[in-house]
Structure 1
Amino acid sequence: MDTTRAVPPRLAAWRRAARELALVAVLFLVYKAGRQVVADHADLALANGEWIWRLERLLRLPDEAAVQAPLLPHEVPVRLANVYYAYVHFPATVLCLVWLWLRRPAHYLRLRRALAALTAVALVLHVCVPLAPPRLTALTGMVDTGTRYGPSVYGPPDTDQLSNQYAAMPSLHVGWALAIALALMAVTAGRRRWLWLVHPLVTAFVVVVTGNHYWLDGLVSMALLVVILAVLPRPAPDRPALLEAAGPVRPHLVPAPRRAGHRRNPRVPAAADVRLRPPGRG
């Protein structure tokens, strides 16, 4: 006799959720650890930063310093930009992933794969092409707004052991923001779905204003994401993961068809003239 006891569906759903969160956390930690590989390539990163700056001028891209300069005398908007850069990026991504897992599992799976692939490609580029951000590249003339007004998520580059500040290309802030915006647009109806694009647009502006990225960092990240999404299969119709744990859908009541010449007795309750029929038929 089989003595194994079946795991309750709802408990199984929460176990899957824990595994998914653990996987996302592991990917993030691997990314953080991998960035340390190039932490000592400051000279090369600074030279690459100057090269990117000159390339942008040849491509006629807007001058990042010209975008930052009008805001520098005003502490409140600059501080808000620093807060957005420091505290919106990762929590917004986690909230989106959790909501999609609960409500749209197939879209969650596609987004998770896209974020993992984008992060992996970014890590390779960070190792192969270390790049100093504008705030650390003297040629740009840009200011580290986190140091000036706070809050700052980085310490001095030579003593910062938690992050590699010479990994500006591509910008995962912009790439992740666009990825979750596209995922939410796919599950939102009507014109309101276009509002999700506000997040990546604000993110792209914030990473430039704070001196953490060049325009090209964001453009390369968006291009990589487009390629990754084109390769990944489109999500199939799905049901919320926690609702699936509740079991099969019960039959619902539908009005029974009347026979020709049949008259309803007004004294008979309406429920007497219905019958059980499986959903999706009739």
Structure 2
Amino acid sequence: MNARTEPAEAEPATPARPPIVRELLLVAGLFLVYKFGRQLATGHTGEAFRNADRVWDVERWLHIPGEGAVQSLLLHGDTLVRVANTYYATVHFPATAAFLIWLFLRRPEHYVWARRVLAAVTAAALVLHLLFPLAPPRMLTAAGMIDTAQAYGPSVYGPPQTDHLSNQFAAMPSLHFGWALMVAIGLIVATRSRLRWLWLLHPLLTLLVIVGTANHYWLDALGAAALLGIALAVIHAPLRTATTAGRSTRQLAPAEEQVLVGAAR
């Protein structure tokens, strides 16, 4: 008796990638808006320090461990603190760019989702930077912390009075942490490896670095996580497509064929 075979189901087409020129222009535009928006918040020195005192008092009221505890760990060796400063200075943008490029090439449907989430979080953060300028703990006397980048190098910031390339009073929320957390979440959602949860080490390491180098308070990271949570609740991740799910199924196809052939004989 011949085995009855069913016609093969047509495999869904892979989602089309967005036009690359449009995406490059869009990402470049978002970066320019980000840089311009940070410049709008400069010059609010007095307000930034008053807000820093408030954040510091709130953290103590909440009994959050002081940021100095993390910094003291970094200061055990010059090499460790320089590695932390280098991580802060060099990983933020390249890691996020590499994440978006990989999604664009390998998971286009997840790329669109991740780009929208990052844009929403960044836009909301810029608004908060304008409404709530905040001096980082390295500038706050009450924190008792040192500016590790200035003391050990490398540093991405100059003196606040003459630094016209960045807004050093944009500590709340921390986009360093918010972007790192989105990179980890995006890779966890877009991949199926059993080891994909290790990507959470990226935001964890970023958190220790931004706090230990006295560039951010704990509450800056919590604020970024809250913004990201809201964005993820509104902008839903793409469902796992049949094409993605079918990859693991196709890997078992030879074994399943042997079983079907044996049953048909």
Give the TM interval when normalised to the shorter protein: 0.7 to 0.9
State the match for 1:162 in structure 2.
Answer: 165
Give distance in 2, aligned partners of 1:198 and 1:88. Answer: 14
1:203 CA drift (Å): 0.3
- The equivalent position to 2:191 in structure 1, one of 188, 203, 225, is 188
Counterpart amino acid of residue 236 in structure 2: P
Give distance in 1, aligned partners of 2:76 and 2:121. Answer: 36
State the match for 2:57 in structure 1.
Answer: 54
What pairs up with 1:220-239 in 2 under 5 angstroms?
Answer: 220-236=223-239
Give distance in 2, aligned partners of 1:239 and 1:35. Answer: 42
- The equivalent position to 1:118 in structure 2, one of 121, 126, 130, is 121
1:73 CA drift (Å): 4.6
Structure 2 counterpart SS, 1:191:
coil
Contact 1:106 1:237 in 2 (8 A): no
Counterpart amino acid of residue 142 in structure 1: M
1:160 CA drift (Å): 0.2
Give distance in 2, aligned partners of 1:137 and 1:22. Answer: 39
Aligned residues with identical type, % of pairs: 56
| Farther-moved stretch of structure 1 (19-28 vs 77-86) | 19-28
State the match for 1:206 in structure 2.
Answer: 209
Deviations 1:5-30 (A, max 9, x none): xxxxxxx96x8123212211211111
Give distance in 2, aligned partners of 1:170 and 1:202. Answer: 17
Give distance in 2, aligned partners of 1:25 and 1:237. Answer: 29
| Farther-moved stretch of structure 1 (68-77 vs 190-199) | 68-77
Give distance in 2, aligned partners of 1:165 and 1:84. Answer: 18
Instruction: Give me the CA root mean square deviation.
Output: 2.3
What pairs up with 1:89-128 in 2 under 5 angstroms?
Answer: 89-128=92-131
Which has the larger Rg?
1
Deviations 1:28-66 (A, max 9, x none): 111111111121000110111111011101111111012
Q: When the two structures are superposed, what TM-score results if normalisation uses the length of structure 2?
A: 0.83
Runs of 4+ in 1 over 4 A off after TM superposition: 236-240
Counterpart amino acid of residue 211 in structure 1: A
Give the length in aligned residue pairs. Answer: 234
State the match for 1:5 in structure 2.
Answer: none
Residue ranges of structure 2 left out of the alignment (5+ in a row) = 1-15, 244-256
Contact 1:105 1:239 in 2 (8 A): no
Contact 1:168 1:217 in 2 (8 A): yes
State the match for 1:139 in structure 2.
Answer: 142
**1:67 and 2:74 matched:** no
State the match for 1:217 in structure 2.
Answer: 220
Give distance in 2, aligned partners of 1:197 and 1:90. Answer: 17
Give distance in 2, aligned partners of 1:239 and 1:37. Answer: 46
Contact 1:103 1:239 in 2 (8 A): no
Counterpart amino acid of residue 61 in structure 1: I
Structure 2 counterpart SS, 1:157:
coil
Counterpart amino acid of residue 128 in structure 2: L
Q: When the two structures are superposed, what TM-score results if normalisation uses the length of structure 1?
A: 0.78
More RCO (CA 8 Å, sep 6+):
2
1:220 CA drift (Å): 0.9
